[in-house]
DNA sequence: ATAGGCCGGAATTTCGAAATTCGAAAGAAT
DNA sequence: ATTCTTTCGAATTTCGAAATTCCGGCCTAT
């Protein structure tokens, strides 16, 4: 996208994923035009792109609003992300070399360092943002050499939308220090051991604890 | 999307998926504005949406062009579609009831009828279009009760983009009558037998023959 | 002859306003 | 009192033109 429209897209995306926009809230081009110093048309282009990617909804002739959330929406996104991520991990395990191992280990080291220092207290927004970025870096490193740009792009969307919906229900993102440490360690261990099935299992358990936060559903 | 912009989106999408736009061809809003009786801005909105969905590319400050194709692109999309479709089938097999079986059987009946009548000769565009629609209906029926709107939406994108890229290399879509009949029958049989693994295998074989058309690649 | 800079035309992107459409409140009829 | 119609303000959508950026040919200097 171009300079202006693309910049608005990026800023809006960040705000939505960070939980700064309430689910279902209207996003009106003319209002946003003031906040972003752009014309309504440019804002509109950003909104169309966000809608196509699933961050917001677009009802014809009645504007845009932030995606509505709910347990089943979260469940659906989690399911999709598991599907993408386990496949990406499987491919990376099959294709990855030493470089992949090194990147993954480094990402895990940074993440584990943070998680061990965040023992429940001091869950300020800054730390959570840092942790979320490290979490994402680790999961992206896991699937980093899957060889499919499409898979990586879909994973990025699923990751951010998962965060978007979880943060709406729980601003702490269901952060649970000790458990997270063990879960991520388990994922890393299975990946380095080239155990695709074990890695998939570890990922599913990782998500199950997230799902426990929200009321479940059959499926 | 709105009336005009949405209509342009739909028409452009159809033309691209039908192979009417050469890969890499430029899509210029002002030119298209004449063909579609709309302003450049409205065209632009349609193009932005198509780009976000992956049908076309959008290089900042240098416009839109139809997605470039190649064996590895096709391979990647095929891989992704297999992933989505096998998972959708697995879920449908687990959750689907009589209604799902009936829809799937009906879709297969229509598809098989067409395929048995299209023995190599008379591969005119009309028949191929009809067959492609039936093929899509069958595959959508297969995953129809997976319970995830996201999975269905992703499958639709993957299906159409797969067609878009294959048709660019081979206008007959690699149509192979007798084999197709058996492959689709195998998929149906496994699905009705509630054999998720067998269904996944049948789907993979189904795609392998497609892949044979194009030069392979490691992965 | 070639590399590098410059200029002209065309395409992309952005804007502000006009036209269309929606949603709700006020009013009329049953 | 309820339901249907009308009307009006606000929001969405579309447009045509202005501003910015890119691409190619041309010129110049080495």
Mean pLDDT computed over A191-214: 88
Reference B50, options B16, B83, B18, B23; nearest CA is: B16
The CATH T-level fold of domain B71-213 is 1.20.120
Look at residue B123 and give its three-state secondary structure: coil
pLDDT of residue B216: 45
Q: Which nucleotides of D are covered by protein (CB under 7 A)?
A: 11-17, 21-23
pLDDT of residue A13: 98
Reference A198, options A210, A189, A190; nearest CA is: A190
Domain segments of chain A: what residues?
Answer: 3-66, 71-213
Distance, in Å, from the CA atom of B123 to the CA atom of B108, rounded to the nearest integer, reads 20
Distance, in Å, from the CA atom of B46 to the CA atom of B49, rounded to the nearest integer, reads 5
* Residue A165: C-alpha distances to residues A72, A151, B138 (Å): 11, 21, 33
Beta bridge partners of B64: B27, B58
* Residue B115: C-alpha distances to residues A34, B123, B160, B178, B214 (Å): 58, 11, 20, 8, 22
Q: Which nucleotides of C are covered by protein (CB under 7 A)?
A: 11-17, 21-23
pLDDT of residue B142: 98
Distance, in Å, from the CA atom of B120 to the CA atom of A105, rounded to the nearest integer, reads 54
* pLDDT tens by residue, B29-39: 999 999 999 99
Mean pLDDT computed over A112-135: 87
Residue A27: its H or E element: strand A26-27
Residue B56 — φ and ψ, nearest 5°?
-135, 170
Lowest-confidence segment of A106-110, A124-128, B66-70 by average pLDDT = A124-128
| Pairing state between β A26-27 and A64-66 | antiparallel
Q: Binning pLDDT at 50, 70 and 90, where does residue A219 land?
A: very low
What is the spatial distance, in angstroms and rounded to an integer, between the CA atom of B39 and the C1' atom of D24? Answer: 28
pLDDT of residue B72: 93
Q: Which residue has the tokens 């997605």?
A: B67
Q: Which residue of A has its CA nearest to B72?
A: A148
| pLDDT, greater one: A12 or B211 | A12
Neighbour-count burial for B124-135, b at 16+ CB within 10 Å, e otherwise: eeeebeebbebb
The CATH T-level fold of domain B3-66 is Arc Repressor Mutant, subunit A (1.10.10)
pLDDT of residue B211: 64
Distance, in Å, from the CA atom of A135 to the CA atom of A114, rounded to the nearest integer, reads 10
Q: What percent of chain A has pLDDT over 90?
A: 82
pLDDT of residue A73: 95
Does A40 contact strand C, using a CB cutoff of 7 Å? yes
Give nearest nucleotide to A1 (CA–C1').
C13
pLDDT of residue A213: 58
Residue B29 in tokens = 């809003």
Rounded to a whole number of angstroms, the distance from the CA of B31 to the nearest CA of chain A is 20
Residue A157 in tokens = 């969307």
Q: Binning pLDDT at 50, 70 and 90, where does residue B124 land?
A: confident
Mean pLDDT computed over A36-51: 97
Asked whether residue B27 carries a pLDDT value surpassing 50, the answer given is: yes
Q: Kindly give, in sequence order, each residue whose CB lies less than 8 Å from that of residue B16, ignoring residues fewer than 6 positions away.
A: B50, B55, B56, B66, B164
| pLDDT, greater one: A211 or A33 | A33
Rounded to a whole number of angstroms, the distance from the CA of A182 to the nearest CA of chain B is 28
pLDDT of residue B189: 98
Asked whether residue A200 carries a pLDDT value surpassing 50, the answer given is: yes
Distance, in Å, from the CA atom of B138 to the CA atom of B42, rounded to the nearest integer, reads 34
Rg from Cα positions in chain B: 18
Asked whether residue A65 carries a pLDDT value surpassing 80, the answer given is: yes
Distance, in Å, from the CA atom of A214 to the CA atom of A181, rounded to the nearest integer, reads 21
| pLDDT, greater one: B207 or A32 | A32
* pLDDT tens by residue, A82-100: 999 999 999 999 998 999 9
Distance, in Å, from the CA atom of A53 to the CA atom of A51, rounded to the nearest integer, reads 5
Look at residue B212 and give its three-state secondary structure: helix
Q: What percent of chain B has pLDDT over 70?
A: 93
- Give me the long-range contacts of A35-39 (CB less than 8 A, separation at least 24): A36/A8, A36/A11, A38/A4, A38/A5, A38/A8
Distance, in Å, from the CA atom of B180 to the CA atom of B186, rounded to the nearest integer, reads 10
pLDDT of residue B125: 83
pLDDT, averaged across chain A: 93
Residue B27 — φ and ψ, nearest 5°?
-120, 100
Mean pLDDT computed over B188-206: 97
Look at residue B172 and give its three-state secondary structure: coil
User: Cβ distance B144 to B106 under 8 Å?
Assistant: no
pLDDT of residue A179: 87
* pLDDT tens by residue, A47-64: 999 999 999 999 999 999
Distance, in Å, from the CA atom of A80 to the CA atom of A130, rounded to the nearest integer, reads 25
Q: Kindly give, in sequence order, each residue whose CB lies less than 8 Å from that of residue B59, ignoring residues fewer than 6 positions away.
A: B65
Q: Which residue of A has its CA nearest to B87?
A: A83
Rounded to a whole number of angstroms, the distance from the CA of B114 to the nearest CA of chain A is 33
């Amino acid at each position: 996208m171009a300079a202006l429209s693309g910049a608005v897209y990026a800023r809006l995306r960040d705000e939505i994923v960070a939980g700064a926009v309430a689910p279902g809230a209207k996003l009106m081009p003319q209002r946003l035009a003031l906040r972003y110093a752009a014309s309504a048309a440019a804002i509109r282009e950003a909104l169309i792109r966000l809608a196509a990617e699933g961050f917001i909804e677009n009802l014809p002739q009645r504007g845009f609003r932030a995606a509505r959330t709910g347990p089943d929406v979260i469940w659906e996104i989690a399911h999709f992300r598991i599907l993408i991520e386990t496949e990406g991990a499987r491919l990376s395990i099959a294709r990855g070399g030493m470089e992949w191992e090194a990147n993954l280990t480094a990402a895990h080291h940074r993440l584990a360092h943070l998680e061990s220092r965040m023992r429940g207290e001091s869950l300020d927004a800054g730390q959570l943002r840092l942790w979320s970025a490290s979490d994402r870096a680790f999961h992206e490193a896991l699937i980093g050499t899957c060889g499919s740009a499409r898979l990586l792009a879909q994973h990025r969307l699923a990751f951010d939308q998962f965060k978007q919906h979880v943060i709406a229900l729980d601003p702490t993102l269901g952060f649970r220090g000790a458990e997270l440490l063990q879960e991520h360690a388990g994922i890393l261990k299975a990946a380095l051991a080239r155990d695709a099935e074990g890695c998939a299992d570890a990922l599913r358990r990782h998500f199950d604890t997230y799902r426990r936060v929200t009321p479940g559903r059959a499926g």
